[in-house]
Structure 1
Amino acid sequence: MGLQLLVRALPLLLVFDRAAGNTTAAAIETFADFNTECKTCPHSLCPNTLYYSGGDIVNATCWTRGTRIVDTTLWLRSTSNCYVTEYDLTDNTTDYTSALPYCGRGSEDENLTLEDATLQYKTECRICPTIDCDTVAYLNEEKDVELTCWTPEGQMIIDDPYWMKTTNNCYVAQKNLYSKPDVTYLEPCGPIPFLEIATHFNENGTSEVDKRAAVPEPEPAVFTPSYLINVTVGEDYALCHSCAEETCSVETRYVFNQEVWLQCLVETNGTWWSETTDFCYVKNSDFWESPEGDYYRNPLCSYFEDPGSAPGDGDK
């Protein structure tokens, strides 16, 4: 009699196990269409467990709902126990909601670590932590940002390789913050692939912090933005003015061969100036290097004006 009761109870145990998200169904093999992140939860802001390169096999075990990526909120959990958006997979014909079990209600949770910070300089917020990646937003100095995770493997900015992911769903260099955040309160971002806005953007986010829109490249295209670049004074001295004109008051003076860090470029009546990290302007002709010629990666200061409307700005 005890054995009969156990046998009759087994189907119920399987049902409850599936409801908890512990599915045992066979995985469905599909492929990454391009570089894509496999996340700890099915939301754009969640840290990465790993990433798949274009063409890599992804074995999906169950489906769930998360951040809307272009036209789908469907995410799949892989055999690596992380989540990939359906949009980044080559197979767009399979009905995963019929072919696979639901991962469980708990799988939809967005578990984030958050920490407040303030930018010290004008900053490009990028889709991945290198200056070769697309700019999502141009953020002004003194702007408050909310950090979600950190990576020590970004591109070296001056002497610091640490970058922080923000709730703009893009990365800022730690060097651009007033102070280093306490990373003990933040999750590591995990492995991060090279991404492009053309194939990775969230058109209609399911929440404010997830929202990110594709943006056109700023004009003129010759200026592909970068972070702080350093140049050296090539004259006996270089005056740093309160605005990009010689009639403006002098804020500070740099001496011959002094290293100066620049934020962005301004053109005034055919003359190029650079805003330094002292928030004053020097004529580019006073430097050994030509920031608008030798360094093509310095952004125009106008990109940071009127946040939310500047070209390439993904800020609200």
Structure 2
Amino acid sequence: MPKMGSHARCRPSLPGLFLPLLLLLTPSAAAPTTKPYINSTADYSTECKTCPHSLCTNKQYYISGDSLNATCWTRGTKIAGDTLWLRTEAGCYVTQYDIAEYDGDYTAVLEYCGKDSEGEDLTEEDGTLQYKTECRICPDLQCDVVAYLPEETDVTLTCWTDEGQTVIDDPIWLKTRNNCYVAEIGLYSKPDTTYLDNCGPIPFLEIELHNNENVTSEVDKRNAFPEPVIHSPHYLINVTVGEDFAYCRDRPDVSGKIEKRYPFNSEVWLQCLVENNGTWWSETTDFCYVKNSDFWESPEGDYYRNPLCAYFGEPPS
């Protein structure tokens, strides 16, 4: 007859045997959980960049309402007080400022893209402006003017595009370290684009939604424009002389010294406008002034919307 209690010794209780194993198999409640992506939409047109900085080239862009998946987060140019950027399923980066607000913390839910993702890889080439130049937020004459740059201004060019609006006979625009685009025609010499990256696809942008003044890192900071631009003026407009001669003077005044004389029906390229005692004058690409009444067209009219010369300030000494 077995001894009392021998059965218990031969078959230990199940909880005593399996409890440590169950503890090992049960995930800790404190362990973080990450998602492979977070779905979002673009609030308005935004550039998806090859690196998380405003000067980086574009891989693609999203327009308002476009869906995208954010797959990881990183740090880049400060936009609206925040350095957080997101990599999308397309393998490019958007600032979180440009997409729908997320009710949560991207850094807690998505993986970090890695330290290498924070780099800024740019190509650069120097250039000098030969004319007064409107530096625009995108390479089109309908895009807002970010900065008015006087002639002889040195600029650092970072990329090029031939998808811009043709000015005179040249469709190429270049992005500068002012984080805006200048038309190639305004430079003394054409840059060697073999040393510059292509800017990639560029959406139509508006300063109201993308002006980073005072909230962007110093290297990417844009020069402030003198006043809001309601209607973008045209650049280097072409007009025709309607008098026997149009006298181009060293200042916008009939008593000014005559620097050049344009004959009847000749084409003249204009940079900007000056009003003097009720008379409108235009500064030509020869850097002298002609009365607008000497042209067939009216450069000061609504059709042209040419900028005032005063916007550009004095050229560098």
The TM tier, using the shorter chain, reads: 0.7 to 0.9
Task: Tell me if the contact between 1:116 and 1:144 (Cα under 8 Å) persists in the aligned partners.
Answer: yes
Could you give the per-residue CA deviations for residues 184-208 of structure 1, whole angstroms, max 9, x where no partner exists? Answer: 1100000000001111122445643
Aligned Cα root-mean-square deviation (Å): 1.8
Residue equivalent to 1:139 = 149
Residue in structure 2 matching 1:241, options 227, 246, 249: 249
Alignment partners' CA distance in 1, 2:287 and 2:185: 16
Residue equivalent to 2:60 = 50
Alignment of 1:62-211 (within 5 A): 62-204=72-214, 207-211=217-221
Q: How far is 1:270 from its partner?
A: 0.3
Residue equivalent to 2:232 = 224
Distance 1:60 1:132, change over 3 A: same
Matched, 1:290 2:285: no
Task: Tell me if the contact between 1:197 and 1:214 (Cα under 8 Å) persists in the aligned partners.
Answer: no
SS at match of 2:134: strand
Task: Tell me if the contact between 2:51 and 2:117 (Cα under 8 Å) persists in the aligned partners.
Answer: yes
Unaligned regions of 5+ residues in structure 1, if any?
1-23, 309-316
Residue equivalent to 1:270 = 278
Task: Tell me if the contact between 1:261 and 1:277 (Cα under 8 Å) persists in the aligned partners.
Answer: yes
SS at match of 1:198: helix
Aligned length: 283
Task: Tell me if the contact between 1:69 and 1:201 (Cα under 8 Å) persists in the aligned partners.
Answer: no
Task: Tell me if the contact between 2:131 and 2:187 (Cα under 8 Å) persists in the aligned partners.
Answer: yes
Task: Tell me if the contact between 1:36 and 1:88 (Cα under 8 Å) persists in the aligned partners.
Answer: yes
Q: How far is 1:218 from its partner?
A: 4.4
The percent identity for this pair of structures is: 69
Task: Tell me if the contact between 2:246 and 2:262 (Cα under 8 Å) persists in the aligned partners.
Answer: yes
Task: Tell me if the contact between 1:201 and 1:213 (Cα under 8 Å) persists in the aligned partners.
Answer: no
SS at match of 1:209: helix
Could you give the per-residue CA deviations for residues 140-186 of structure 1, whole angstroms, max 9, x where no partner exists? Answer: 00100000000001001000000000000000000000010000110
Q: How far is 1:114 from its partner?
A: 0.4
Query: Higher Cα Rg: structure 1 or 2?
Result: 2
Distance 1:29 1:294, change over 3 A: closer
Amino acid aligned to 2:239:
V
Amino acid aligned to 2:312:
F
Distance 1:204 1:99, change over 3 A: farther
Amino acid aligned to 1:268:
N
Distance 1:300 1:145, change over 3 A: same
Amino acid aligned to 2:276:
T
